[in-house]
Copies of this chain bind each other. A is one copy, B any other.
Amino acid sequence: MPHSPASSLPAWFLGPRGENAELLERLVVEALRDHVFWRRNYHPEDGVVIREMDKRQEGYEETVATLTQELIGLLARLKRDAPFFSGRYKGHMISEQTIAAQIGYFATMLYNPNNIAAEISPVTTRLELEVAGQLALMIGYDPARSWGHITSGGTIANFEALWLARGVRYLPVAAAGAARELGLELSVRLPGGRTALLGQLPLWELLNLTNPATLDLWELLWRSAPPDDVRRALADHSLADIGYQEYSRRLALDYGDPLPAGVVLVAATAHYSWEKIVRALGIGSNQLVHIPLDTCYRMDPDALWERTRELARRRQPVLALVSVCGTTEESAVDRLDLVLEVRSRAERELGMTFHLHSDACYGGYAAAVTRKADGGRRTAAEIQASVGADWPSPEWVRAVEALGQADSVTVDPHKMGYVPYAAGAILVRDGRARHLVATDPPYLAPTETPSTDIERFLGRYILEGSKPGAAAAAVWLSHKVLPLDERGYGYLIERTVAGARRFHAALAAADLGLFRPVVLPVPDINIVCYVICHPAVPTLEGVNALNDAIYQRMSLSRPDGAPEYIITRTRLRSPMYDGAIDPVLAQVGVTPEIWKAAPADGLVVLRSTIMEPFLAAPPPAPDHVTGFLGALRRACEEALTLRR
């Protein structure tokens, strides 16, 4: 690598001024013509279907006129869209897309492959599996043992993770029933390391086998009887077949004690879609247990341990624990290394275990920061030298390295992968788990050649059906141009972190007259949250109204539709932020009791995701930090005036 990634960066994006327009246009036209000539070269003897004369018919002309006119209408409407490309957009987790992703998507869309099955996507199904392998390597999975694929987004990816986790968690109960029916004596490895006979395990122990032990058991079961018999026996006992209503009845019948309903532990910062997911899966949102946060909005490992002990005492099984790498609101990175330690301790001391999932939908790509070009890891000091700041801490690096130990990880290319929607991804550490949710046929025996099998028909293992091969190609091409290490995504994300830190420091030190910015802690990645206070509005209600009004002035819903800068806002609510928010409330001048008294309102917090890589760049790049502070002050003043 003779040049620095800094000199590559200018070629990665179309640019806020469309600086690379010629490049993108050249590639777009090239891809389109290339596709057209493919069509012409395909059985040239077939002749033309649409004749030149057909193009001179009135209907043809009218259709072209309609198409052109409606397109121009659409283009006009799109001008009211949010300018994600600009440094003036400091709102949600969206920015520009890489040129590679844009051209990869467009070029492939002309072919429109469907990655549900290799038969109708012979090329892009392979690209999808390549991409999954690249992401697996980045987070530290063994690509040969893991499995993954692209989804339409993070919610579906997370849904699949919990769906898989449930399948694994409940398998031993189904296997015990099936083995009984088949007259098999199977041995199984317990969390402590001991081996036991499956048929002699009580329900609690069946629900507390580790994932690897469970998947070994599953393979053993298939090896111990003819496949048709195993299939039939599992269909009599597995949750997927018999459903929850019958399952609950059976547990009570077979084990006397059905145990309390299984719960899902989530970091209190978990995205609202987790509630959606547990509702849809039939687990129920009351079974979602929020683990308290520390004051940096990371899951508190001690609180996790306390909660785990309490659940063990109540003999309430845990389907899965969801840790977050890059929270939606603050980009906080849970100390996954410590969370893993809590699980190990629970296995040792409580005989309790669970599927550990990391929701790295936002933060997953930040793992590229820890990777050298040769695939090795960089130390915190090496990264700090490159960023030019005291980021990341050695603890941050350990937390990110721990991703490789999670049972599943979700990471969205359409967030910090800078590709167009829709592209999420799920990665599973032990790829055998996919067989537990396979559909057609219901229970698939371990195959001789799993990779062929996967390539042939992805639809068998995933929630979705038809899916765009173009999304896979977009991610694939983007990874080719921006490698998942210090040369590509790693450098890109470093720049956004540098920008976010400059932004954070400037906000904290900003002179906004009587307005006083209360800035949340320096983020773990690149989302900055802040609250604006003013002596005239001392109450929580007043602060919320003021910040809501500031947000309104700095969003597209502003009456004139032309905000100088665009931000977004969120609400930090009780009980999720109990304790963690206290230092912020203290700075705002509100007691936790008052904040807790209105849980629906919470604390309104302004939020800026810094995904553009130029915020910390020197001139002639526009100084969007200074510009922002001026705009913020004007918005503050307008907001206060309006309130009066």
A109 touches B105 (CB 8 A): yes
Please report the C-alpha to C-alpha distance between residue A77 and residue B20 in the assembled complex, in whole angstroms.
26
Provided the pairs A7-B58, A74-B473, A284-B244 are in contact, do residues A18 and B31 lie with their beta carbons within 8 angstroms? no
Smallest CB-CB separation from A557: which chain B residue?
B119
A556 touches B119 (CB 8 A): yes
A286 touches B243 (CB 8 A): yes
Encode contact with B along A1-31: 1 for CB under 8 Å, 0 otherwise. Answer: 0111111111111111111110111011111
Cβ contacts under 8 Å, A589 to chain B: none
A46 touches B243 (CB 8 A): no
Cβ contacts under 8 Å, A442 to chain B: 275, 285
Within the complex, which residue of B104, B281, B622 is in contact with A46, where a contact is CB–CB below 8 Å? B622
Encode contact with B along A608-640: 1 for CB under 8 Å, 0 otherwise. Answer: 000000100100111010000000000000000
Please report the C-alpha to C-alpha distance between residue A112 and residue B114 in the assembled complex, in whole angstroms.
21
Cβ contacts under 8 Å, A246 to chain B: 261, 284, 286
Within the complex, which residue of B20, B34, B468 is in contact with A50, where a contact is CB–CB below 8 Å? B20
Cβ contacts under 8 Å, A468 to chain B: 420-422
Smallest CB-CB separation from A152: which chain B residue?
B152
Q: Does A591 contact B (CB under 8 A)?
A: no
Encode contact with B along A335-360: 1 for CB under 8 Å, 0 otherwise. Answer: 00000000000000000000000000
A242 touches B284 (CB 8 A): yes
Q: Does A512 contact B (CB under 8 A)?
A: no
Q: Does A70 contact B (CB under 8 A)?
A: yes
Within the complex, which residue of B36, B64, B120, B481 is in contact with A66, where a contact is CB–CB below 8 Å? B481
A78 touches B107 (CB 8 A): yes
A10 touches B50 (CB 8 A): yes
Task: Kindly specify which of A88-96, A195-203, A514-522 makes contact with the partner chain.
Answer: A88-96
**Interface size class of chain A, counting residues whose CB lies under 8 Å from the partner chain:** 35 or more
Please report the C-alpha to C-alpha distance between residue A13 and residue B60 in the assembled complex, in whole angstroms.
11
Cβ contacts under 8 Å, A249 to chain B: 248, 258
B33 touches A17 (CB 8 A): no
B80 touches A43 (CB 8 A): no
Cβ contacts under 8 Å, A235 to chain B: 285-286
Cβ contacts under 8 Å, A459 to chain B: 273
A70 to chain B, nearest CB (A): 4
A8 touches B152 (CB 8 A): no
Q: Does A497 contact B (CB under 8 A)?
A: no
**How many copies of the shown chain assemble into the complex?**
2
Q: Does A480 contact B (CB under 8 A)?
A: yes
Smallest CB-CB separation from A108: which chain B residue?
B78
B621 touches A49 (CB 8 A): yes
Q: Does A110 contact B (CB under 8 A)?
A: yes
A629 to chain B, nearest CB (A): 16
Q: Does A525 contact B (CB under 8 A)?
A: no
Please report the C-alpha to C-alpha distance between residue A78 and residue B119 in the assembled complex, in whole angstroms.
14
Task: Kindly specify which of A216-224, A397-405, A433-441, A534-542 makes contact with the partner chain.
Answer: A433-441
Q: Which of A4, A16, A473 has the most CB of B within 10 A?
A: A16
Encode contact with B along A73-93: 1 for CB under 8 Å, 0 otherwise. Answer: 011011111111111100110
Q: Which of A441-496 contact B (CB under 8 A)?
A: 441-442, 459, 463-471, 473, 476-477, 480-481
Cβ contacts under 8 Å, A280 to chain B: 159, 163, 280-281, 437, 463
Please report the C-alpha to C-alpha distance between residue A122 and residue B156 in the assembled complex, in whole angstroms.
24
A51 touches B155 (CB 8 A): no
Q: Does A505 contact B (CB under 8 A)?
A: no
Q: Which of A103, A104, A281, A439 has the most CB of B within 10 A?
A: A439
B32 touches A16 (CB 8 A): no
B38 touches A79 (CB 8 A): yes
B54 touches A10 (CB 8 A): yes
Smallest CB-CB separation from A480: which chain B residue?
B70
Within the complex, which residue of B82, B86, B154, B248 is in contact with A122, where a contact is CB–CB below 8 Å? B82
Q: Does A226 contact B (CB under 8 A)?
A: no
A34 touches B75 (CB 8 A): yes
Please report the C-alpha to C-alpha distance between residue A285 and residue B234 in the assembled complex, in whole angstroms.
12
B109 touches A10 (CB 8 A): no
Cβ contacts under 8 Å, A425 to chain B: none
Provided the pairs A49-B614, A421-B467, A481-B67 are in contact, do residues A286 and B32 lie with their beta carbons within 8 angstroms? no
Cβ contacts under 8 Å, A104 to chain B: 71, 74
Encode contact with B along A392-435: 1 for CB under 8 Å, 0 otherwise. Answer: 00000000000000000000101000001110100000000000
Q: Which of A229-257 contact B (CB under 8 A)?
A: 235, 239-249
Provided the pairs A2-B58, A243-B287, A464-B155 are in contact, do residues A18 and B46 lie with their beta carbons within 8 angstroms? no
A123 touches B439 (CB 8 A): no
Q: Does A106 contact B (CB under 8 A)?
A: yes
Within the complex, which residue of B42, B155, B617 is in contact with A463, where a contact is CB–CB below 8 Å? B155
Please report the C-alpha to C-alpha distance between residue A452 and residue B529 in the assembled complex, in whole angstroms.
28
A54 touches B123 (CB 8 A): no
Provided the pairs A285-B240, A420-B468 are in contact, do residues A440 and B621 lie with their beta carbons within 8 angstroms? no
A85 to chain B, nearest CB (A): 6
Q: Does A59 contact B (CB under 8 A)?
A: yes
Q: Does A641 contact B (CB under 8 A)?
A: no
B81 touches A113 (CB 8 A): yes
Q: Does A100 contact B (CB under 8 A)?
A: yes
A572 to chain B, nearest CB (A): 14
Cβ contacts under 8 Å, A469 to chain B: 421
B466 touches A86 (CB 8 A): no
Chosen A-B contacts, 11 in total, with CB atoms closer than 8 Å, are A18-B35, A21-B36, A81-B122, A82-B122, A94-B112, A119-B557, A152-B152, A241-B284, A243-B285, A246-B261, A421-B466
Can you list the 3 inter-chain pairs with the closest CB atoms, starting with the nearest? A243-B284, A282-B282, A7-B59
Known contacts A38-B78, A152-B152, A245-B262; can you find 9 more A-B pairs with CB under 8 A?
Answer: A8-B60, A27-B71, A39-B86, A43-B86, A78-B123, A82-B121, A240-B285, A242-B286, A279-B439
